[in-house]
Structure 1
Amino acid sequence: MTDSARRAHGYPLLIALAIALAGLCYSSWVLEFVLPVHTDPVNAFLSELDAEGKPYREVFANADKLVGLLLIPAAAGGLLVFPRRRLTTIGWVALLCFGASTIADALLPLHDCDPGDSTCGGDSGLFPQLHQPHALTSTLAVTSIAVAAFAFSAAAFRCHRWRVLREFGAGILVLGVAATIWLLIADNLPGAHALGIAQRVQVGSMSVWLLALAAAVAGQWTDNHPHDGPPHPC
């Protein structure tokens, strides 16, 4: 194997490692159970953890920035290293958009306000993105990773590849969709409906799905020539 081929052989593993680290960093919200942030996990949105003026804001904001800094080059690398197929190309582009949106999410935190303010995690109405820029970046992030998850899952089933995405990742995707539906419906109903739990399930499923994607991509490390082989329908 030539030196260039040997380097190319290791790229999928590097991409997988970056995605796995991003998935772990996106789980930084679990630190709310360790750090004295005094949040209400049942009703408070995760955006309150890095809102302006909140204690340990930099911890959560820097973790989100790191997610983006890991996923943007990983997604770009995926586009360059792996064959250009329609579904996986959509997935890599969406993953890159997710990384960029996550950085924007950290750079545009919620404004410091009273706990009862609707823009601080309370009832936000049908179009929360009209209240604060942070809600818009959060919406873009969730939409982007949802597109990526559906695209990669569809490719896995259509091509009979990436078993971990077909068997484990699909279940995590269903869980994330259920939590999102819970959020969309309950957020527009009067009263408290454990929106904090719903969002933590949603974000937790995103982190676990990223780990599943990393495992799937790591499987490509055994392929010495990622671009070789007959044309693939994906």
Structure 2
Amino acid sequence: MNRLVRLLLLAGGLLYANWVVQMVLPAHLSLLTSYVSELSALSRPYHQVFRSLDVLSGVLVIAGAMYGLAVGRRDRPAATAWAALALFGLSNVVDALTPLPCTLTVGAACNTSTPHDAWGWVGDPHLYASLGEEVFFAVAFVAVVVALRSGGATIATRGRAEVLGAVAICASVVAGLLTAQLNFFGHDMLLGLAQRLEVLLMALWIAFIPAELVTPPRRSLHDSRRFLRVR
């Protein structure tokens, strides 16, 4: 079962970075300036491919989190991490099921006089699904780090979790700022590059880090000696 958790999270995490398929299919969107979500916009060719991969990624992450909760640690930090991962996967599924109708960063693609109207997004479920991915990833990151520390994980394991997750969140903040600049001022700059880096880092973190929670907590030297005395 532990191996199944690892495989589910590995597959779900790596599929989350499905934007790399753009380099094989003629999606005709800039890697540097376009939203990752625009690959799934209804007006784009191959949007079914990217949406299907997002749904599959979300379902696999949900399944991995549920199995992890069943067979792994169930202390509060670990349970919080599994719950946040499951909600992250659910947000990814909702994101895929509520795609953008058109591409905002391509000139005149949305056939509107205000293609960068931020206020027009307020009632868009896609916005909240995407925001949910960011929030639940951050919660999972904090919970996993706390769980690894309390569970006696090695310094190397904790270091990978902390550094990779922190860099992913920093990339997320940068992408968020560039998104705000695009919507309010119409300047796309390197939004696409920041988003793709963010998604790639999040994908790698999900694929390799949370699975460490299925490893039983290490006994401290003090606990081991007390166990021997009792025996």
Q: How does 1:43-122 map to 2 (within 5 A)?
A: 43-112=33-102, 115-116=106-107
Q: Gaps (5+ residues) in structure 2?
A: 224-231
CA contact (8 A) 2:144 2:210 kept: no
Deviations 1:200-220 (A, max 9, x none): 1111111110122255256x3
Q: What TM-score, normalized by structure 2, do the two folds share?
A: 0.81
* Structure with greater Cα Rg: 2
Give 1:76 deviation, angstroms: 1.4
Deviations 1:13-53 (A, max 9, x none): 11111000001211211011111111111110000101103
Match for residue 151 of structure 1?
143
For these two proteins, the number of residue pairs brought into alignment is 212
Match for residue 198 of structure 1?
194
The whole-number CA distance in structure 2 between the counterparts of 1:37 and 1:135 is 22
Match for residue 6 of structure 1?
none
Give 1:154 deviation, angstroms: 2.0
Give 1:71 deviation, angstroms: 1.5
Q: Gaps (5+ residues) in structure 1?
A: 1-10
Secondary structure of the equivalent of 1:69? helix
Give 1:119 deviation, angstroms: 8.1
Cα pair distance change 1:158/1:16, threshold 3 Å: same
Give 1:158 deviation, angstroms: 3.5
Which among 169, 177, 182 is matched to residue 177 of structure 1? Answer: 169
Match for residue 4 of structure 1?
none
Give 1:118 deviation, angstroms: 10
**CA RMSD of the aligned region, Å?**
2.8
The whole-number CA distance in structure 1 between the counterparts of 2:103 and 2:61 is 31
Match for residue 22 of structure 1?
12
Cα pair distance change 1:102/1:37, threshold 3 Å: same
Cα pair distance change 1:213/1:33, threshold 3 Å: same
